[in-house]
Copies of this chain bind each other. A is one copy, B any other.
């Protein structure tokens, strides 16, 4: 299999109207803000204690471990985000800060290579005795990803050597000779080991990742077995009666055909499976990945690219079970879906994967972060009524406002590292060709057959469908350019060097264009008219409803732009959707408006709950804004799927 490469982040510079406001947040706001949190310098946010835990483990400070068992990943994900940021925007002071942190991590590393502040400080004798809940391998994976990112950004090897020593310990500890049955409760180390293999070339790391995957779900179930060990000590009471599907260990991975259990774990695992399939040229495993992908995107995914329908345990449920106001749809799960989809696209060269990646990035991932970069959603509902988001009820996980920082702080640093690495999603390449996946204005340099070219892409996507590209190659530069034709671009035209392309060659959803060193301009125009989307009628919650999309962007109604009781609004299927750019709204955004009706209260006194009163409507103007921008103004209701007169 020919797995396409991502262009190194340092070779790509994003200058995009839509994305820069977020990408810049990472560097200017999130990274320093999160650093303050990691150091417990901020009041009014939940204590992180992450740096302090490392200092205690390193012996620099006295004290108790504080936080979740996976608290170390806060720091790891922060380093990873910083590394991506340094790749595109070098910053020597920030780099020094990371160097200090790397030194701290090394000091906190045990002599045998082990790194985990929870177990080192609190339970040194219980290492690897509770893989189900202990998260040591999960933390290890994030450290490896951070180390690889930092190495790629700076060329510095110290962190790589630190995690190598840990990886060596893991390979030894979980070798077929020692603990030949164990695998992580929360997948992630597989991705870390594979990345570590990619930069070190040490085959044993990827082999260990493969072993972890292949062991998973075999009989007897490891997690049920380890509970019998007298050293086993439970960590989370809610896992008392363990459901093996929760951690995708209900079946061997090759027998899994539906996406089950905790959504983040699932997509992290599928990402590693895709990597292994490519590295080992394992077509059977790739086919398993395709089946699982198809199950997600065809039956278990929200319009926004959210996954995980159940608030309880943040997990997948059943085909077509997609409730809009009680789902989890964790930001991290959509990030994982993007990671999985990107790998599948790199392996199969099929644009349809990037349709979904784009959907996840533009909607759920962006919705995860406030416009000021300082508050975050874990949970991404498609319908919210603040009045019933009540603690210790079935809606306790749904929040109408983003939270400053969480006890379990996985999403904020995960959003940061994703935005900081956005460049990796825009292009893929191999020796001869370049694939253009996302329409985000940027300038990049790329080499085909050792000849370099500069690519420039300029667009106001997703608000405008015009995309202008320039390929400025050195002498002898030639190859193929594959430009993704998004599923929603039903009509489009292409001009190469000003001449319209009449014969369009489409391969796997990509338009194929020969390029040579003579400067080429490519101009495309996609129709991006707002459209009314319906869900398959098997999605019970969406029957009789439509959602508005423009390009990859899902739109929603907010109470602040309309009135309360948003579920009472109806539109006609032939209503005209007007759009206009409002540069005073939400730092500038395309707004969609239309005529609609609202079911009204007339004849109902407030106290009457049920009666035979007839239905009455009032004419209303309806206003939609992009879904990722919701909850950035006054707290109120929000809705994506609105009723349709049928």
Listed in ascending order, the chain A residues whose CB lies under 8 Å from chain B are 237, 241, 243, 246, 294, 297-299, 301, 303, 309-313, 315, 317-319, 321, 323, 325-326, 385, 387-388, 390-396, 531-541, 543-544, 547, 565, 567-568, 570, 573, 599-601, 604, 606-615, 617, 643-646
A318: chain B residues at CB < 8 Å are: 387-388, 390
Give the distance to chain B from A8, nearest Cβ to Cβ, in Å: 34
A536: chain B residues at CB < 8 Å are: 601, 604, 606, 608-611
Once the chains bind, are B298 and A607 in contact (CB under 8 Å)? yes
A604: chain B residues at CB < 8 Å are: 536-538
Partner of A573 from B303, B533, B599, B614 at Cβ < 8 Å: B614
Give the distance to chain B from A298, nearest Cβ to Cβ, in Å: 4
Once the chains bind, are A537 and B599 in contact (CB under 8 Å)? yes
Closest B residue by C-beta to A239? B392
Once the chains bind, are B390 and A535 in contact (CB under 8 Å)? no
Once the chains bind, are A299 and B599 in contact (CB under 8 Å)? no
Once the chains bind, are A643 and B608 in contact (CB under 8 Å)? no
A313: chain B residues at CB < 8 Å are: 392-393
Once the chains bind, are B643 and A645 in contact (CB under 8 Å)? no
Q: So how many copies of this chain end up in the complex?
A: 2
Closest B residue by C-beta to A386? B318
Give the distance to chain B from A249, nearest Cβ to Cβ, in Å: 14
A539: chain B residues at CB < 8 Å are: 609
Partner of A565 from B537, B573, B599, B643 at Cβ < 8 Å: B537
Once the chains bind, are A601 and B538 in contact (CB under 8 Å)? yes
Known: A317-B390, A317-B395. 19 other contacts (CB 8 A): A303-B610, A309-B388, A309-B393, A313-B393, A326-B394, A394-B394, A534-B610, A534-B615, A535-B609, A535-B610, A536-B606, A537-B604, A540-B567, A540-B568, A541-B567, A573-B614, A615-B644, A617-B646, A645-B646
In the docked arrangement, what's the CA distance between A311 and B540, Å?
20
Contact A395/B310 with A610-B534, A610-B536 known, Cβ cut-off 8 Å: yes
Once the chains bind, are B394 and A310 in contact (CB under 8 Å)? yes
A573: chain B residues at CB < 8 Å are: 614-615
In the docked arrangement, what's the CA distance between A32 and B135, Å?
51
Partner of A607 from B299, B311, B326, B540 at Cβ < 8 Å: B299
Partner of A393 from B297, B315, B544 at Cβ < 8 Å: B315
Closest B residue by C-beta to A542? B610
Once the chains bind, are B611 and A533 in contact (CB under 8 Å)? yes
A246: chain B residues at CB < 8 Å are: 392
Give the distance to chain B from A464, nearest Cβ to Cβ, in Å: 21
Partner of A643 from B317, B390, B543 at Cβ < 8 Å: B543
Give the distance to chain B from A435, nearest Cβ to Cβ, in Å: 24
| Cross-chain pairs A/B with CB under 8 angstroms, 24 sampled | A299-B607, A301-B609, A309-B388, A310-B390, A310-B395, A312-B393, A317-B395, A318-B388, A318-B390, A321-B387, A326-B326, A326-B394, A533-B612, A536-B601, A536-B606, A536-B608, A538-B601, A538-B606, A543-B567, A543-B568, A544-B544, A544-B570, A544-B599, A645-B646
In the docked arrangement, what's the CA distance between A614 and B534, Å?
8
Partner of A534 from B241, B541, B613, B646 at Cβ < 8 Å: B613
A325: chain B residues at CB < 8 Å are: 323
A392: chain B residues at CB < 8 Å are: 241, 243, 246, 312-313, 315
Give the distance to chain B from A555, nearest Cβ to Cβ, in Å: 14
Partner of A646 from B303, B323, B394, B599 at Cβ < 8 Å: B599
Once the chains bind, are B609 and A312 in contact (CB under 8 Å)? no
Once the chains bind, are B317 and A393 in contact (CB under 8 Å)? yes
Partner of A532 from B567, B599, B612, B645 at Cβ < 8 Å: B612
In the docked arrangement, what's the CA distance between A537 and B608, Å?
10
Give the distance to chain B from A568, nearest Cβ to Cβ, in Å: 5
Contact A317/B609 with A537-B568, A570-B646, A601-B537 known, Cβ cut-off 8 Å: no
In the docked arrangement, what's the CA distance between A130 and B541, Å?
43
What 4 pairs between A and B have smallest CB-CB spacing?
A310-B393, A298-B607, A321-B388, A540-B567
Question: Which of A385, A394, A606, A608 neighbours the largest number of chain B CB atoms within 10 Å of its CB?
Answer: A394
A388: chain B residues at CB < 8 Å are: 309, 317-318, 321
In the docked arrangement, what's the CA distance between A538 and B388, Å?
13
